[in-house]
Amino acid sequence: MVNLIGTYECKADAKGRLMMPVAFKKQLSGVLEDGFVLKRAVFQPCLELYPMAEWNLLMQKMNKLNRFKKKNNDFIRKFTAGVKVVEIDTAGRLLIPKDLISFAAITKDLVLSSAVNIVEIWDKDQYEKAIEGVADDFADLAEEVMGFDDDISLD
């Protein structure tokens, strides 16, 4: 499992290519050759870059869903809409397909942000708005998500 660290600013060229930050390339060095999956995020107007091994683990979970339930089929269809297999080329660039550029409203200035085992790719303005929006209630969110009772073990 990959555990990524960091938030980096970069630029996209006219063709939608971005230079992968050196720090991410180093962290992903063991999985670069396997390729990646790029998809629309579920909750935010950004893209998610999954190392192929992480994507395959997620697909194993998805494959356990009962396809004879309409909501499961609807979820799978929506979750995988616009999914693309991508690679980081020999120059260290990642090409973002046009439909995904449109979805995330990506312009020239980008932010690549680690999200545990994936990289989120944001338009810089969208990222700053999202971070500002969370700042107000982040303490409450942190307590709700991570504020375990004292008698609960994380083991």
From CA 120, how far away is CA 40, in angstroms rounded?
10
State pLDDT tens for residues 92-128.
Answer: 999 999 999 999 999 999 999 999 999 999 999 999 9
From CA 109, how far away is CA 112, in angstroms rounded?
10
State pLDDT tens for residues 42-66.
Answer: 989 999 999 999 999 999 999 999 9
Calculate mean pLDDT across residues 21-50.
92
Q: What's the half-sphere exposure (Cβ side, CA atoms, 13 Å) at 155? A: 3
